[in-house]
Amino acid sequence: MSEKCTHNCSTCGSSCGSRKQESMLKAPHKESNIKKVIGIVSGKGGVGKSLTTSLLSAYANKLGKSVGIMDADVTGPSIPHMFGVHEHATGSEKGIDTVLSPSGIQMMSMNLLLDSESTPVVWRGMVISGTVLQFWTDVIWRDVDLLFIDMPPGTGDVPLTVFQSIPIAGIVIVTTPQDLVEMVVKKAVNMANIMGVPVLGLVENMSYLRCPDCDKKIEVFGASKAKKIAEEYGIPAIAQLPLDANISKLADLGRIEDYDTTAFEDIFSVIEKTERFDSK
């Protein structure tokens, strides 16, 4: 009698159909040159995922890396505004060109394709996922060392499409100190494990408030859980961002690149060590 299938093909000597697993990865635009792709994810909305994407991209750019940002949050795009970019993307029969931030960061976002930034995108999930995939296959990313993908919250259509279709080197998960967020972060970690994508770092946003009078750290939303979660899941690096009104001010002014990004030093060191993709 044959043994029951465990779905672990690496330990099985049988020649069954389940062993024929074809890659679902899609090739980028033929004129793109991308060396490494990093996803920025969260288990829920409102934790500062786009902020993390912006600051981490700015940090890499300041170190001399050629950086791109794919804003995969199609129904809630905020990346261009944070960088002060309001022009429309252009293209030709060859493909769609990215738009540059003042410091030269390449970006593509739904807001760069709409007639008005306030126009809502009222689409179903599969259409949104298809648009994100087109940001990979139809957009020309020129000589990018690091492409950061700002993904929508949760573990639905878009994250699944990105994990299956784009060669992600690893992800950075964004959280805040509350117990509820800790639970949904674990969901994001478990999804990454299921998809075989390494978790490179954990960013705890709104981790503390710095008292303007005595400089004391005040944990407004409770004690930090970043180190505990990182140790539990073997996440190699963490960054803790303060609750800082200056962040909101700079984001509103389109000058997010002016904010201090040194908190990402450890996470960026881990990103640097990950395997390259090299589309060329």
Q: What is the pLDDT of residue 19?
A: 43
Residue 111 is assigned to a structural domain of this protein: yes
Beta bridge partners of 106: 68, 100
* Residue among 214, 270, 209 at smallest CA distance from 240: 209
Q: In this structure, which amino acid lies at residue 279? A: S
**Helix, strand, coil share (%) of the chain residues, nearest 5:** 35, 20, 45
Domain coverage including residue 81: 26-273
Residue 18 is assigned to a structural domain of this protein: no
Q: Give the CATH number of the domain where residue 100 resides.
A: 3.40.50.300
Report how many domains make up the chain. 1
Handedness of CA 270, 272, 273, 274 (dihedral sign): positive
Largest CA distance in the chain: 75
Alpha carbons 180 and 218: distance in angstroms, whole number: 20
Q: What is the pLDDT of residue 1?
A: 40
Chain centroid to CA 71? 8
Residue 11 is assigned to a structural domain of this protein: no
Beta bridge partners of 96: 91, 139
Q: Strand runs (DSSP E) across the chain, as ranges?
A: 37-41, 67-71, 96-97, 99-100, 106-108, 139-140, 146-150, 170-175, 199-210, 217-218, 238-242
The DSSP annotation for 30-65 comes to: TT--BS-EEEEE-SSSSSSHHHHHHHHHHHHHHTT-
* Residue among 78, 84, 76, 77 at smallest CA distance from 101: 84
Q: What is the pLDDT of residue 12?
A: 59
**Rounded to the nearest 5°, which phi and psi values hold at 210?**
-90, 120
Q: What is the pLDDT of residue 252?
A: 95
Residue 181 is assigned to a structural domain of this protein: yes
Segments of the chain with pLDDT less than 50: 1-2, 4, 6-8, 10, 17-21
Q: What is the pLDDT of residue 164?
A: 93
Encode pLDDT of 131-166 as tens digits. Answer: 999 999 999 999 999 999 999 887 788 999 999 999
Alpha carbons 247 and 249: distance in angstroms, whole number: 5
Decide: residue 236, CB within 10 A, 0-12 exposed, 13-18 middle, 19+ buried: middle
Whole-angstrom CA distances from 183 to 85, 174, 186 are: 35, 12, 5
Q: What is the pLDDT of residue 256?
A: 97
Encode pLDDT of 44-55 as tens digits. Answer: 888 999 999 999
State the virtual CA torsion across 33, 164, 40, 49 in degrees, nearest 10.
130
- Residue 130 has a CB neighbour count (10 Å cut-off) of 13
Q: What is the pLDDT of residue 188?
A: 87
Residue 9 is assigned to a structural domain of this protein: no
Residue 62 is assigned to a structural domain of this protein: yes
Alpha carbons 180 and 138: distance in angstroms, whole number: 38
Residue 114 is assigned to a structural domain of this protein: yes
Residue 84 is assigned to a structural domain of this protein: yes
